[in-house]
Structure formats: structure tokens, C-alpha cells
Structure 1
Amino acid sequence: MSSPHQGRHETGQNFLCDRSVIAAIVEIVAGTEGPIVEIGAGDGALTLPLQRLGRPLTAVEVDRRRAVRLARRTTAATRIVDADILRYRLPRTPHVVVGNLPFHLTTAILRHLLHFPGWTDAVLLVQWEVARRRAGVGGATMMTAQWWPWFEFSLARKVSAAAFRPRPTVDGGLLTIRRRTDPLVDPRDRRRFQALVHDVFTGRGHGVGHIVGRRLPRATARQWLRDNGIRPAALPRDLTAAQWAALFTAYRTTG
């Protein structure tokens, strides 16, 4: 039988064991509302403290042995589900997602989550560099930009590799995602917006002024740059959510 903090190499799991980090996660979740869905419950390091919030809790765990053991330690109000989160259908009603994600599955799980309409907030422990990039620190990734009109990404804190067992080779980062109550772009235009972001990120040119100028009338492109205070030499990663939304508006009016 595996020990409580033995990592599952087949799922790339590093278990959280730092009580101060656990307390910080629970504190953030406490500031949200609604039922909670936990990803990768493991041996309950987060599950048991989350129970104390007194809210409906569903803990999803891919390792059946761990799920069975955890079910013996949780209250009747907590539901333990033996499932792969990448195949699990999240509720369509409002809820909060929380979890310590297997580092090698972070992007796949994020993409899975972002396509589901129900959840309002996500509190996720991921690799430090991934957390920084998703939050737009030092420049946003294409993935962040493609979802920015509908979600706010924030970096809560850095988490030392020493907070996990077994210890990973990189530090972690606590990433929070909140669904915008007032989207910057109509959800019905999501595919068109995301295609535009992809085209700009992968387009050829010396800065967004040149790249966008190949897709919009030059006068429109210059107006967009001027109205949004963007340097022509800026890179796609330098744009803000509002600037992307303004670009899409300009694109729609000329498309």
C-alpha cells in the first residue's frame, strides 16, 4: 500500500503537505460562494480543511484506492468521485473549482475547465512559471489572451517546491481564475475572437502595429493603436484584455 505522501508517477502527482499553503488556499476559497469541486483530492490534504467551510463538496480522485480511503475519512456531506478530471463533466450550475493540479497535465486541465460554463471561480496550484504566464506576468500567453474577455487570471502567491511530497524540481504558483460577470466580448463571438488572437500571435511582422496592419485597413489599425495607447512595436503578449477586446471590435466593424 502506498504511503500518504507517495507521489503517483503515472499521474505526475506531487502532494501538498505545507499547512500554511493549505490554509491560504482554503482562505481564498472561503471568499467565494457556492458548492466546491476539488480536482485531484489525493489523501485529503485539501479536502478535509475544505469540509470545514460547511459547503457542498465533491472531490474528484483518479486513483481508486485513494478515493476509497478518503471516503472513509470524510463526512456524509462530502461526495468522493473516482474519475479522471479530463473525462469528468463539471456541474452546469454555479460552483467553485479548487485543486493541486498534476504539473504535466496543467494545460490540458485548464483547457478542459475553460470550456465548462458553470463554475464561477477556480483556485489552482500549478507550476510557478505556468501561473505567471497565465496571469499575464511578464506578458500573456496566447491561451490567456484567447480567454481574457470572459475570465480574469490572477497570481496569488508563489509556493516553494518544499511544500510538496515528493518534492518536484520546480516551484508552484497559486493561480486564481474568476469568470467575468460582464464579458468584454459576446460569448457568441468566442470562436471568431480566439481565431483573431491566434492570427495575431502567429502572424509575421515587427510588432503588433505591423501584424494588425496586415489584417485591418491601415487607418483603422493606427486608430486602434492610438486609442488604446499601444506602441506599434509592442508584442502580442504585451496587450491587455481590454486592448484585445478593442481590437476585436475594430476587426468586426471592418470584417
Structure 2
Amino acid sequence: MESLSTKDIVKKYGFKFSKSLGQNFLIDNSVLQDIVDNSNVSKDDLVIEIGPGVGTLTKELLKKAKKVYAIELDSDLIPILNEELKEFNNFELVHKDALKVDFNELIGEEKSTKVVANLPYYVTTPIISKLLKENYKFESLTIMIQKEVGERIAAKPSTKEYGALSILVQYYCDVEIVRKVSCDSFVPRPKVDSIVIKLTKLLEPKVKVKSKELFFKVVRSSFNMRRKTLWNGLKSLGMKKESLEKAFIDANIDLKRRGETLSLEEFAKLSDCIYELQ
């Protein structure tokens, strides 16, 4: 009966789903269990959950974690969450937009922090970017996201899914696809399937670069026009033609290659050679 609990809570409070907030609540208990199991949450962990919905996943996390901060934007869900989770003294609700939260304020001096969430599709990429780029102190991110975005994050070079998002995430994290999730596992039923993915933060980024800012600028420029060669994409950096050409030669990368064929290591080498010649 556990898989019906989300539906029951929605019915109990007469909750109306918000399309603009991308609300699709999980009703499949096997998926819920896989998220919890793969997050490896223990009594030593502070957990940050983004978009708790009616608290079905939150409840399972509260049973295992030292403390759970649930960040919820929808005012209509606040009284529901407070009522449904009132028995837990390790629960704290944060009524805010997750994109405006300073996560280090929540983390404080905690030694082990894990992010676990069924992320609304429309904020998936901005939230992942914020968590990685702003250098928050968390160990892992176990999240359910749109299947297409999950595949882009895990993609390897020379595939159509591989792009700037793949490199951003793989620069900071080890990536593991936990499982695929059918659209039938949610109410209301979304039009697309989902993926549960685990991102384990690396102690040091996967590649060392002389300028992180330039590295990501090179990556973005390389994928801005996917059909064009790297050479054409990187003209936007505004370098002298001779200097850019020398950077390619020094990095041992053919000017005719396209961005999606370069590995993380090759992007690092090219951006370092560009840095030296700027």
C-alpha cells in the first residue's frame, strides 16, 4: 500500500498540481527504495532534499538521516509537509526557491552532506550547475531527472548526447546511472521518462587546468554551434588567428575536429595551450 501513499495524501488535502512548478509526484515504491538505497544515507549524514512534494521520499530519508532539510517553493505544500512529517524531530522545512538558497548556510559544520531529490524538470540543469560551480560541500547527489538530461550528463565523446553539460558534471563528479523510470511512475503522468542518477563529487576535479573559467569558456564555445568545427567555434574567443592555430598544434588537436569528439582531457590540454598564448 506504500506506493499509494502519495495519491492518498494528494486526495486527503485536495492538492492541485502546478504545471508552472513542474510538479510530478512519484508513486512507484520500488523507485523510491532505489533512490534511498543508492543515496547510501546514514545517521551521520545531513540530507538536503529539493522539491519534496508531499513528503513521501522525505519520510524515508528522515528514518535514515541525521537531519533532512527539505527545500520547497510551493506555499500550498508547506502545511501538508508540516502535518505529514510532524513526528520527525530531525526534519526542517525551508520555504524558498532552491536556486536562491545558500547551501553552505544549511550545511554549516556538518562533515557529511548528501543531496537527494526528485528534481522538477524545468530547474534540473540550473540546480546541478549551481551545486557544482558554487563549490558546495556535499558528497553526492542522488537525483531523479528527465531521461534525456540524465543521458546527456553520462554521455561519452562522439555521441549525440555529449555536450557542455556532460563535461561540466564529469569535471566535478563520477557519474552512475542507477535506473530508468517510466512516466507511469508519477502523478500526474509526465510526457517523458526519467532516470535516477548518482553524482559522486570528486575530491579534486577530474582534470587540472590553468584557468577553470577559460576551460569552461572553451567548452561552451565548442558546443555553441555543434555542426561547425572547433576552429570555427573558438574564433569567438577573439584570439589572433596565428595564436589560436598554434594552440591547436601545441595541444596536438586537428583544427577540423568538432567539439563533441574531444575528451575532457583534450579540452583541458587545448584550454591550457590557449591560456599560454592569450
TM over 0.5, yes or no? yes
Matched, 1:247 2:270: yes
Are the equivalent residues in 2 in contact too, given 1:158–1:171 (CA < 8 A)? yes
Displacement of 1:82 in angstroms is: 1.8
**Measured at CA, do residues 200 and 168 of structure 1 come closer, stay the same or move farther in structure 2, by a change above 3 Å?**
same
In structure 2, the residue matched to 1:197 is: 219
What is the number of equivalent residue pairs in this alignment? Answer: 251
Q: What stretches of structure 1 of length at least 5 have no aligned partner?
A: none
- Tell me what 1:107 maps to: 125
3-state secondary structure, aligned to 2:98: coil
Contact 1:6–1:165 (CA under 8 A) maintained in structure 2 = no
Q: Secondary structure at 1:47's aligned position in 2?
A: helix
RMSD: 3.1
Alpha-carbon distance between aligned partners in 2 of 1:22 and 1:205, rounded to the nearest angstrom: 40
Q: TM-score, normalised by structure 2?
A: 0.77
**Alpha carbons 1:42, 1:67 under 8 Å: kept:** no
SS in structure 2 at match of 1:107:
helix
Say which structure is richer in helix: 2
Percent identity between matched residues is 24
2:30 pairs, out of 10, 20, 23, with 20
Instruction: Note the residue ranges of structure 2 that are not aligned, 5 or more in a row.
Output: 1-8, 236-240
State the alpha-carbon separation in 2 of the partners of residues 236 and 50 from structure 1: 40
Name the CA shift for 1:19/1:204 in 2 (closer, same or farther; >3 Å). closer
Residue 248 of structure 1 deviates from its aligned partner by 2.3
Deviations 1:16-68 (A, max 9, x none): 11111111100111168731100001111210111121321111112233222
Change (3 A) 1:2 1:159: closer
Q: Which runs of 4+ in 1 moved over 6 A?
A: none
Residues 195 and 206 of structure 1: CA distance in aligned 2, closer, same or farther (over 3 Å): closer
Taking the aligned partners of 1:25 and 1:69, their CA distance within structure 2 comes to 22
Deviations 1:165-203 (Å, cap 9, x if unpaired)? 110010011122222212245688322221121222236
The SS at the match of 1:182 is: coil
2:251 aligns with one of 196, 202, 224: 224
Question: Separation in 2 of the partners of 1:119 and 1:3?
Answer: 35
SS in 2 for 1:91: helix
Output the amino acid matched with 2:45. G
Amino acid at match of 1:84: D
- TM-score, normalised to structure 1, is 0.83
CA distance in 1, matches of 2:168, 2:201: 14
The residue matched to 2:104 in structure 1 has which SS? coil
